[in-house]
Chains A and B, each alone.
Chain A
Amino acid sequence: MKDAGLASLSINGRPVEVASDPGRRLSDVLREELGLRGTKVGCDAGDCGACTVLLDGAPVCACLTPLGRALGREIATVEGGVAEDLQASFLRHGAAQCGICTPGMLMAASALLTRNARPSRGEVEAALGGVLCRCTGYAKIVDAVMATATAAPALPKAGAAVGARVERLDGRPKVDGSESYGADHVPEGALLVRAVRSPHVAARFALGDIQSWAARHGVQVFTAADIPGENRFSAIPAFADQPALARDRVRMRGEAVAIVAGPPEVVEALDLATFPVDWSEDTGLRDPDSAESAGAPQLHEDRGGNILTRGLVRRGDARAALAGSAHLAEVEVRTSFVEHAYIEPEAGVAWMEGDVLVIRACTQAPVMDRDETAKILALPPERVRIIPAATGGGFGSKLDVSLQPLIGLVALRSGRPARMVYTRRESMASTTKRHPAHMQARAGADATGRITGMVFDGQFDTGAYASWGPTVAVRVPVHASGPYRVPAYDARSRAVHTNNPVAGAFRGFGVPQAAVAQETLFEDLALAAGIDRLAFRRINALKDGDRSVCGQELWGVGIDDCLAALEGPWAQALAEAEAANAQGGRIRRGVGVASCWYGCGNTGLPNPSTVRAGITREGRLRLHQGATDIGQGANTVIAQIFADALGVDLASVELIGPDTALTPDCGKTSASRQTFVTGKAALLAGQALRARLLALANMGDEASIAFENGAVVLREGARSRRIAPAELPLDVLGYALSVEETYDPPTSGLDADGQGVPYAVYGYGAQVAEVAVDLDLGTVKVLRITAAHDVGRAINPALAEGQIEGGIAQGLGMALMEEYIPGRTENLHDYLIPTTGDMPEVRSILVEKPDPEGPLGAKGLGEHVLIPTAPAILNAIRHASGARLTRLPALPHRVRAAIREAAP
């Protein structure tokens, strides 16, 4: 029985008529019937709070509210329901990174501020506890709610953008609800696409009478047989092995075997369990030990022993060095699958423009999406255009294509726009994860505490398909030494196929796991040597001119600067913990430290970025910025570098792109490379355009440049010269003046022993964690983390702090609560990520030791920030309780068991 006729709602003070069924989710009515897509949907289960709206002033999840219940009541949404000063405060504090949680945060904060204008930090945390954020670590959000009255800083003057706390240039739409993510653009007449996915981890299958099923339901069905091109993809072309649609065999739960397309109301109502497919289930390989055992079935024909790839870095004779060491230590650690848990499930829409297939979806890698989709659909790359939607978090998983080939296929074959929005369960089941690692490591030190050698072996569960498994296998042995001098070294890794989810790229590419083994190992060594744990790390920290385990001579090495910056906080934390513990009781305080290093960009492989800038005939300055900004801030940072290199006011820079039709390739947003690689290309482009203008004006480098009333005005001393772009002929790119500059980091491939120059730039950091451990319950409260990170040059300190706070949140989650279990934790209430109430105070220390290669000395930061967090917390837990955790996450039951083991 459908409700007859229209019903009335009041939204943001305006009466609105709706025709939907009263049993529909209010979130769906707001978004799909009323087009109010500022309200976001992250889980449809009340777990993430992104859809928070106010019902008569009280925050509720719109996804849990039937429309019928909202009738006759006042609904406030981000579109008009939020005070301007609160929005401005979010922008000013950098409280929105990707921005997908921002509407929910704003609504929850609005309700609080209405009844309590001056809330305490605790009150804000409690009020926002029901909205998950995966980017920020919450601190800047809480700051923004507590300090709505602070004034906006003045914009930096021309030439002074670098180093300034510039507000995110693309931030306004994130705080007013107008930002358009993958699910927010819906062309007229778009078909809805849903995937039929495997409920089994391994199975053969045969499709039944699809034609009849499709005809009966009035939909179109596409299968592997409809794919015109090469039905296999992978982030790394040489390993392409994953079908867009499986043909007759599935290797993991959630693998798509068919897609269904049709009118949205029809497709949404389909029960896909009735889709005609006969499964013949196999046992499958659930863990890498089984996969490596003799006689195990093989997932891929050409990968013997189910080994995808191996990695090796060897220098000197590590075993001999250990044999002669005064102190020895050994660890064995296991980590779990970790889910990226961005709040935006994969979503996008595809349509045809002439003979060009346009795909607008969330992504971290538009050019890779274009090339892979073109290959699968047998199109030349120039007939595929990727327009990245605003991306509601990525963290590595949105480097791989997901729905792009599927909606592309439907648009190509049907000629109609085709839209797909993953459910939370679908997103978690079918996309990549962080590799579970099983690591064993040994290291030795001499009597003075100098590390003599290290042996590392890591087995990484890479799941059903290759994805970024090879990258993890290569990166881990390069980084497993930590930022320390290790004269003799033997580190091996292998990525092993199983029928588990695909393990791919996740912030750090295996290095966070390796750091857990290495930093807990060095903890043991420091304790064995009887040396203060921070001092031990300083004794061994890499210095300028040292060689890494790859034999690379390093310059601009900032690890000791970071450790030195932590000396004061470390001493204070130890004293506080000691004083607290002297009081007795079953809650014990502890302090831990851990370091990180991380090479920026591809490992020993080219990864260029190209930046274009032009001046239009109307005298507008355009920067074609192709680095996708998934919340980390590339749109702002790249523009800051460019503006200063050109010597103009940041406000005169107009950003174009990313869009594969409009922006040259800036590569993928991955490997902490955008500030370094695209930043350097932007620096070169700014310098080149400046040189062109100076030459035209016949002025020296002291000249200032301004864009005024359609002209470019250069001034040097008393001289002034006006260049009128309208009078210049257009160049091939359609500009009066334009430049295009490419930068590719100078690296070299690694030899058979892993020796070479894998990266041109490294970033460094170290963190001190302070914890309280409940000895009886095994619960851990992280009280404070002091994080010193060497960024070379802080292009935008506010954004850098945001990366640190957000990375620490993910590191804390990995340490204490995050464990993805296929088929069991495919939602955000069984899979836990930190909430406002789980985050400690984070004190950021930005260390600036310039890198000789990086733009203005800058280094990458995005991944570095989470690497030290988990081992620092583990070392703090051990300091507090004696518990040596050998399995992550350190859930209460594991911590309590480890405490009992340490002190039976």
Chain B
Amino acid sequence: MGAYLQPRDLDEALRHLAQGPLTVAAGCTDLFPATERQRLAGDVLDISGLAGLRGVSRHADGWRIGAGTTWSEVIAADLPAGFDMLKAAAREVGSVQIQNAGTLGGNLCNASPAADGVPPLLALGASVELVSASGARVLPLEEFLIGPRRTARRAQELLSAVLVPEAAGASTFRKLGARRYLVISIAMVAARLVLREGRIERAWVAVGACSPVARRLGALEARLVGMGAAEVAGLEPGFLEGVLSPIADVRGSAEYRLGAAEELVRRSVGELMEGRA
């Protein structure tokens, strides 16, 4: 049976990590489903007791969300409208039970192509802070997530926080699944807009579950600038073709996913333009 370590502070956690690879346990909502055993496999570092990794704080250059912050805590946090899409995504993570245990950091480190938290964080321009006994580094989220179930985290590092610069504008999130609760996405879209006189001044759009890693759609964002509601509604079929690379699986065909992602983009952006978000 492996060790089960419950450090009291970050330094202690990092010392443990420096000594050798450990399974880092946060909410355990992905770790336990991966085994049929009654105990987590291997040597485990349970970081859920680290108070320093929890909570949302405001800083001069933006927002800091501790990696150990649960989805329920995100929902309850006092955050501006730019974060609405993150809160909406938080409400779609599994169930209330999962939201009470699962964490932002765990969602990112698990690196599922269908992770609910990723599209909104991409559309917030988030970065992640990684710490180890030898120091800290900050990576844009796009560079942290390098493939399905793969991240840039080194074995001796902990993901300590998600950093979000000023989150201007209004935002929304749409998740498409075959049932209402407890469902893995067929496709999802997070969108954030700054409007000026009924036209898009700035846009941030990210799509999940339609590529190996959720994607921020830079070219689309550029194209959206200057558009009015009618032009958004009229985005031509196939406008995301070649941009996304959805797979076919039990949840839907590739062709369907692409079309659904496009429709979710039209609706999400359109809704923000009408102020219905």
Chain A residue numbers with a CB within 8 Å of B263 are: 776-777
Q: Is A28 an interface residue (CB 8 A)?
A: yes
Interface residue? B116 (CB, 8 A): no
Which one of B36-44, B50-58, B191-199 is at the A interface?
A: B36-44
**Which residue on chain A has the smallest CB distance to residue B251?**
A891
CB distance from B253 to the nearest CB of A (A): 5
Q: A23 and B176 in contact (CB under 8 A), knowing A60-B101, A65-B101?
A: no
- In whole angstroms, what is the CA distance A821 to B248 when docked? 14
In A20-41, the 8 Å CB interface with B consists of 21-25, 28
Q: Check if A69 sits within 8 Å of B2, measured CB to CB.
A: no
- Given the known interface contacts A45-B32, A60-B97, A64-B32, the answer about A1 and B182 at a Cβ–Cβ threshold of 8 Å is no
Question: Contacts A46-B97, A108-B96; is A129 near B181 (CB within 8 Å)?
Answer: yes
How near does chain B come to A170, taking the closest CB pair, in angstroms? 28
Q: Which residues of A contact B259 (CB under 8 A)?
A: 776, 896
Chain A nearest Cβ from B133, distance in angstroms: 21
Among A651-659, A719-727, A825-833, the one that faces the other chain is: A825-833
The yes or no answer to A834 lying at the interface (CB within 8 A) is yes
In the complex, chain B residues whose CB is within 8 Å of the CB of A126: 96, 181
B180 near A837: Cβ-Cβ < 8 Å: yes
**B181, A836: Cβ atoms under 8 Å?**
yes
Which residues of B sit under 8 angstroms from A127, Cβ to Cβ? 96
Residues of A within 8 A of B40 (CB): 23, 66
Pairwise interchain contact B38-A268, C-beta atoms closer than 8 A: yes
Residue of B whose beta carbon sits closest to that of A56: B100
Shortest B251–chain A CB gap in Å is 8
Instruction: Establish whether residues A22 and B178, one from each chain, have CB atoms under 8 Å apart when the complex forms.
Output: no
Is A22 within 8 A of B6, CB to CB?
yes
Is the Cβ of B180 less than 8 Å from the Cβ of A838? Answer: yes
Query: Does the CB pair A25–B178 fall under 8 Å?
Result: no
A423 within 8 A of B: yes
* A18 close to chain B: CB less than 8 A: no
Count of interface residues, chain B, beta-carbon cutoff 8 Å: 48
Given the contacts A66-B40, A778-B256, A23 and B182 also touching, CB distance less than 8 Å? no
B13, CB-defined interface residue at 8 Å:
no
CA distance A832 to B29 in the complex (A): 18
A839 to chain B, nearest CB (A): 9
Minimal beta-carbon separation of B176 from chain A (angstroms): 6
Known: A23-B40, A64-B28, A130-B95. A817 touches B179 (CB 8 A): yes
Q: Which residues does chain B contribute within 8 Å of A45, judged by CB atoms? A: 32-33
- Set of chain B residues within 8 Å of A897, measured between Cβ atoms: 253, 256
Q: Which of B44, B97, B98 sits near A23, CB closer than 8 Å?
A: B44
Cβ of A748 within 8 Å of any chain B Cβ, yes or no, is no
A779 at the interface (CB under 8 A from B): yes
Q: Which residues of B contact A24 (CB under 8 A)?
A: 38-39
Check B228 for interface membership: any CB of A closer than 8 A.
no
Q: Which residues of A contact B178 (CB under 8 A)?
A: 816-817, 832, 891-892
Contacts of B1 in A (CB 8 A): 1-2, 21, 23
B244-277 contacts to A, CB under 8 A, are 250-253, 255-257, 259-260, 263-264
Q: Which residues of B contact A268 (CB under 8 A)?
A: 37-38
B48 at the A interface (CB under 8 A): yes
Minimum CB–CB distance from A588 to chain B (whole Å) comes to 15
A59 at the B interface (CB under 8 A): yes
Shortest beta-carbon distance from A312 to chain B in Å: 35
> Which B residues are CB-close (under 8 A) to A59?
96-97, 100
Kindly identify, within residues 167 to 194 of chain B, every residue whose CB is under 8 Å from any CB belonging to chain A: 176, 178-184, 186
Tell me, in angstroms, the Cα distance from A67 to B235 when the chains sit together. 52
Contacts of A428 in B (CB 8 A): none
Q: Which residue of B lies closest to A827 (CB)?
A: B33
Given that A46-B33, A47-B182 are contacting pairs, would A777 and B260 also be in contact in the complex, using a CB cutoff of 8 Å? Answer: yes
Determine how close the nearest CB of chain B comes to the CB of A819; give it in whole angstroms.
7
CA distance A122 to B250 in the complex (A): 29
Among A45, A55, A61, A835, the one with the most B-chain Cβ atoms within 10 Å of its Cβ is A61
Most buried by B among A2, A66, A778, A837: A66
Interface residues on A, range: 35 or more
Of all chain A residues, the one with the shortest Cβ separation from B3 is A1
Residues of A within 8 A of B32 (CB): 25, 44-46, 63-64
Q: Do residues A61 and B6 form an inter-chain contact, with CB atoms below 8 A?
A: no
Judged by a CB distance under 8 angstroms, whether A58 is at the interface is: yes
Find chain A residues with CB under 8 A from B147 CB.
none
Q: Among the listed B98, B183, B250, B256, which residue makes an inter-chain contact with A821, where contact means beta carbons less than 8 Å apart?
A: B250
Query: Nearest Cβ in chain A — how far from B63, in angstroms?
Result: 24
A45 to B46, CA, bound (A): 18
Shortest beta-carbon distance, A883 to chain B, in Å?
A: 14
Identify the closest chain A residue to B100 (Cβ).
Answer: A58
Closest to B259 in A: A896
Given contacts A68-B6, A776-B263, are A892 and B37 in contact (CB under 8 A)?
A: no
User: Using Cβ atoms and an 8 Å threshold, which residues of chain B touch A64?
Assistant: 27-29, 32-33, 97-98, 101
Inter-subunit contact B97/A896 (CB<8 Å): no
A433: min CB distance to chain B, Å: 16
Residues of the A chain whose Cβ atoms lie less than 8 Å from the Cβ of B33 = 44-47, 64, 827, 829
Q: Which A residues, 787 to 824, have Cβ-Cβ distances below 8 Å to chain B? A: 816-817, 819, 821, 824
Q: How far is the CB of A838 from chain B (nearest CB, A)?
A: 5
In angstroms, Cα B38 to Cα A630, docked, is 28
The answer to whether A835 and B181 have CB atoms under 8 Å apart is: yes
In the complex, whether B67 has a CB less than 8 A from a CB of chain A is no
Per the bound structure, the CA–CA distance linking A817 and B186 in Å amounts to: 13
Judged by a CB distance under 8 angstroms, whether B214 is at the interface is no
Q: Are B98 and A130 in contact (CB under 8 A)?
A: yes
Is A157 in the interface zone, CB < 8 Å from B? no
Task: Report yes or no: B181 in contact with A824, Cβ–Cβ below 8 A.
Answer: no
On whether the beta carbons of A46 and B25 are closer than 8 Å, the reply is no
| Residues of chain A contacted by B39 (CB below 8 angstroms) | 21, 23-25
User: Which residue of B is nearest A59, CB measured?
Assistant: B97
B179 near A68: Cβ-Cβ < 8 Å: no
Residues on A with C-beta less than 8 A from B160 are none
Q: Which residue of A lies closest to B266 (CB)?
A: A776
Most buried by B among A55, A59, A111: A59
Bound CA–CA A127/B181 (angstroms) = 10
Known contacts A66-B4, A837-B179: does B38 contact A891 (CB below 8 Å)?
no
Interface pair A129/B180, CB less than 8 Å apart: yes
Nearest residue (CB) in B for A423 is B36
Asked if residues B46 and A46 are in contact (CB atoms below 8 Å), the reply is no
User: Does A49 interact with chain B (Cβ within 8 Å)?
Assistant: yes
| A to B CB contacts below 8 Å, 12 in the list | A46-B95, A52-B97, A60-B101, A63-B32, A64-B27, A64-B28, A129-B180, A423-B36, A829-B183, A835-B179, A835-B181, A836-B180
Supply 14 further A-B pairs (C-beta < 8 A) apart from A23-B39, A63-B32, A777-B260.
A1-B2, A25-B39, A47-B182, A49-B95, A59-B97, A64-B28, A130-B96, A131-B95, A776-B263, A817-B178, A836-B180, A892-B176, A893-B257, A897-B256
Closest 5 pairs (CB-CB, A-B) = A130-B95, A837-B180, A129-B181, A893-B256, A45-B33
